[in-house]
Amino acid sequence: MSSKKELFKYIFSRLTLLPIMLWIISSLVFILLRIAPGDPVDAILGNRANEFARESLRIKLGLDKPLIDQYIEYLNQLIHGNLGISLNTQEPVKLIIAKSLPASLELAIFSILLASIVGYLIGFLGAVKPESRIDFSGRIFGIGTYALPPFWAAMVIQIIFAVLLGWLPIGGRLPPGAIPPPQITGFLLLDSIFDRNIEIVFSSIKHLILPSVTLGILLSGIFSRSLRLNLEEVLKKDYIEAAKSRGINESRILVKHALPNTLLPILTITGLTVSSLIGGALLIEITFSWPGIALGLQEAINQRDYPVVQGIVVIISSLVVMISVGIDIAIAYIDPRVSY
């Protein structure tokens, strides 16, 4: 009972940090955007518009107000869950994020699934049979995929499988001209299933394969290396030796004793990778013209669309912070050694 209370206390303390972290992040983004050279008015009107047009737009966008007023208004809106209106398209930022975030999440989920299956399998086999051929190949695979520049790997995969072999589409989420299903979840695959549109289901799978496989393979290297190293270390522990000397069969030792003890670092790495993928798959999104949030963020930065940049950063940060807190809590729950 007391342990449960302690856990809740721990969760509460971690969650109270969330708004503070978000406030710091959103304030930093607000300040950095204003310090950065470039002007949204220029990005919208071009640098040759006359002073009257520039000033009118500045007033309309609220950029004529003192910075502190803009900041207070921004925080006030943020507290009320309003992320503002895009300076460029006059669309609510919420809507822009609602359109692009599911695309990134869909890509991230498939990539992580693939990376986990491939990476952990290779890492596991390598740890179980150290210095074998499998282990050697696995290590080369791990180092190789980790070292590959993502944009290069993506381009090579795109050229081979889309351009030369023509097996899969070159980019985008759907074929040109295809009408997407009504947005329910934003996940194209799920929405097309709900819409019972079998053609779009398979089209979306086909479009998902290249970017998710590329990202998945690139990430699997980190996963395989981390599992191999952790499992190898665990397999050298005394309690494993003790289990062996008691005559417990090897697969049982692996599954019941070794693997659970490698779970904590694996959980941490997987969680952090998921959070970095939400906003960080930019190069993959650019290469495959995947209309995700990272691509949206890049475009918004180029256009100095302050509200969109701020909105996306706040949402990504919230997700990253929530995942990190979630991992902390999960670790605290699983590992009795963690004191809270």
Partner 1 sequence: MIKINYIKDILKVSSILLILFQLSCAQQKKRENIIVASAGKIESLDPAQANTLRTLQILSALGDTLYKINKQGNLSPRLAKDLPKVSKNGLLIDIPLKENISFHDGSIFNAEAMAFSLNRFRKIGTLNYLLNDKIEGIEVKDEFLIRIKLKKPSSSLKSLLTSVNLTPVSPNSYSNYKDSFNNKNFIGTGPYFLESFNSSQQIIKPFNKYWGEKPKNNGIYFINYSNSSTLFGAIKTKEVDVLISNSIDDIQRLTLNNMVKKDKLNAGEGYPIEIGYITLKSNKLPLENKKIRQALSYTIDRELISQQVSFGTREPLRSIVPPQLHKKEFLSWPKYNPDIARSLLKKEGYCETDILSIPLTFRSNVPADKLLALTWKDQIKRDLSDCIQITLNGVESTTVYKQLSEGAFEAVILDWTGAYPDPEAYLTPLLSCNEIIKNTCLKGEAVFSGSFWGDHKLQELLEKSEELKGEKRLNNLIKVEQLAAQGSAYLPIWLVNPKAWSLKNISQPEFSSNGLIILKNLKRN
DSSP 92: B
**Per rule CB under 8 A, is residue 302 in the interface with partner 1?**
yes
Looking at the chain, which runs of residues are DSSP E strands? none
CB-CB contact of 223 with 121 (8 Å): no
Structure-token pair, residue 82:
């309003």
CB-CB contact of 281 with 298 (8 Å): no
DSSP 247: T
**Per rule CB under 8 A, is residue 49 in the interface with partner 1?**
yes
Residue from 198, 242, 322, 338 binding partner 1 (CB under 8 A): 198
CA dihedral sign of residues 212, 217, 221, 224 = positive
**Per rule CB under 8 A, is residue 177 in the interface with partner 1?**
yes
**Residue 261 C-beta: closest distance to partner 1, Å:** 32
Stretch that binds partner 1, among 5-13, 106-114, 216-224, 280-288 (CB under 8 A): 280-288
**Per rule CB under 8 A, is residue 244 in the interface with partner 1?**
no
> Rounded distance, CA 108 to CA 285, Å?
11
**Per rule CB under 8 A, is residue 160 in the interface with partner 1?**
no
Non-local CB neighbours of 258 within 8 Å, separated by 6+ positions: 231, 234, 235, 240
**Residue 119 C-beta: closest distance to partner 1, Å:** 23
Angle (deg, nearest 10), helices 259-280 and 293-302? 40
Residue from 214, 287, 310, 317 binding partner 1 (CB under 8 A): 287
**Per rule CB under 8 A, is residue 206 in the interface with partner 1?**
yes
Residue from 134, 170, 190, 240 binding partner 1 (CB under 8 A): 170
Is the Cβ of residue 104 or residue 275 nearer to partner 1 in the bound state? 104
Is the Cβ of residue 81 or residue 177 nearer to partner 1 in the bound state? 177
**Per rule CB under 8 A, is residue 166 in the interface with partner 1?**
yes
Is the Cβ of residue 266 or residue 313 nearer to partner 1 in the bound state? 313
Phi, psi values for residue 209, rounded to 5°: -60, -55
**Per rule CB under 8 A, is residue 303 in the interface with partner 1?**
yes
70-109 mask for partner 1 (x: CB under 8 A)?
------------------xxxx------------------
| Three-state DSSP string of 293-305 | HHHHHHHHHHCCC
Stretch that binds partner 1, among 19-27, 254-262, 271-279, 289-297 (CB under 8 A): 289-297
In the region spanning residues 19 to 38, those forming contacts with partner 1, defined by CB under 8 A, are: 36-38
Is the Cβ of residue 7 or residue 57 nearer to partner 1 in the bound state? 57
**Per rule CB under 8 A, is residue 43 in the interface with partner 1?**
yes
Cα atoms found within 13 Å of the Cα of residue 182, Cβ hemisphere only: 4
Coil/strand/helix, residue 289: coil
> Rounded distance, CA 321 to CA 102, Å?
18
**Per rule CB under 8 A, is residue 155 in the interface with partner 1?**
yes
Non-local CB neighbours of 212 within 8 Å, separated by 6+ positions: 107, 110, 111, 114
Helix segments in 48-92, DSSP class H: 51-61, 67-79
* CA separation, residue 163 to residues 106, 123, 158 (Å): 24, 32, 7
**Residue 49 C-beta: closest distance to partner 1, Å:** 6
**Per rule CB under 8 A, is residue 186 in the interface with partner 1?**
no
**Per rule CB under 8 A, is residue 288 in the interface with partner 1?**
yes
Structure-token pair, residue 206:
């086909």
**Residue 146 C-beta: closest distance to partner 1, Å:** 24
Give the interface size with partner 1 as a residue count (CB under 8 A): 48
- Interface residues with partner 1 (CB under 8 A)? 36-39, 42-50, 53, 88-91, 155, 158-159, 162-163, 166, 169-172, 175-177, 179, 198-199, 202-203, 206, 285-289, 291, 295, 299, 302-304
